[in-house]
Amino acid sequence: MKRFFFFLVLINCSCQIIDSPEKAPSFIHIDDFIFTISNNNQGTNSEKITDAWIYVNGNLEGVYELPATIPLHYEGFKNLVIYPGIKRNGIAADRKKYPFYLPFDTTCNLIPDSILNITPQTTYEEDLYFWIEDFEDPQHKFQSHVLSQVDLSIIEFPETSLFEGDAGFINMDSSQYYCELRTNELNFNQFPKNLNIPAYIELNYANNYPFTLGILHKDASLPAYQKQPLITMIPTYENEILWNKTYLFIPDATSFFTSATEFDLYISVTNDNSNNDISILLDNFKVIFRQ
């Protein structure tokens, strides 16, 4: 019996060691990123950073939709790196670190059972190529295709429905079936064709009817550009104008055409149901890739 009692004591002591209470985590709270531009060639400071990718001492601790209060099982002074995250192509299931925004890197003192408020800041990385159409000049960079029944016009500030200054405007009625606008930019021939090399379109838009944004591609065997849709934008509003911003991944289209030597962009609207008062507003159109 004495030996059995001794064995029970050992089991009891072992359980006490295993069941010892865990140390309370430290917390950080992030409301949003502050995004700034470093020069006027980068266009607007509009952003739609939705997520924070959290690294502590080089270890990924998770991806959190903002605003968020984030538990961290660390204490003391630690290196904290926060990457801005987006919904690529506007898809909630396709969350990515935006490769052209710099991470926020700091050292902070993490205290168990305490919340540290952090306001991370970011800007574009250096040496990026920017093509920008912000519709602030009367002569915009989109050309109507020969089949298009509608041109792009510019609505001038201070129209209350605008996002930021002037805006591009596509307006169609029941008598107009098709609109197609194209770019004509030699630098777009440098679009990457590899899914591992980033290139993005950033765009602010407000629309009460779907429109398509796509890639024009051509190689030596093609007499004219061919079209490859990249995305169709669903309406952002029905009555009161509501703006949205998106980040579109260009290689999703260009990666299919590895032999292409020329690329451009197009926007198209097909009025299948003879709708009246189709309204599509565009602003801060950016094409960005590494040089």
Going from the N-terminus, what domains does the chain have, and what CATH number goes with each? 24-122 (2.60.40), 129-290 (2.60.120.260)
Is the pLDDT confidence value at 3 over 60? no
- State residue 158's pLDDT score: 73
Rounded Cα–Cα distance for residues 198 and 285 (Å): 17
255-268 b/e (C-beta count within 10 Å ≥ 16 → b): bebeebebbbbbbb
Name the band, by pLDDT with cuts 50, 70 and 90, for residue 19: low
Token pair 């098709």 is found at 178
**pLDDT on residue 21:** 67
**In the predicted structure, residue 11 carries a pLDDT above the cut 50:** no
Looking only at the bridges linking them, the beta strands covering 59-65 and 51-56 are: antiparallel
- The single-letter DSSP state of residue 88 is B
Mean predicted lDDT score pLDDT of the chain: 93
Q: What is the mean pLDDT of residues 243-270?
A: 98
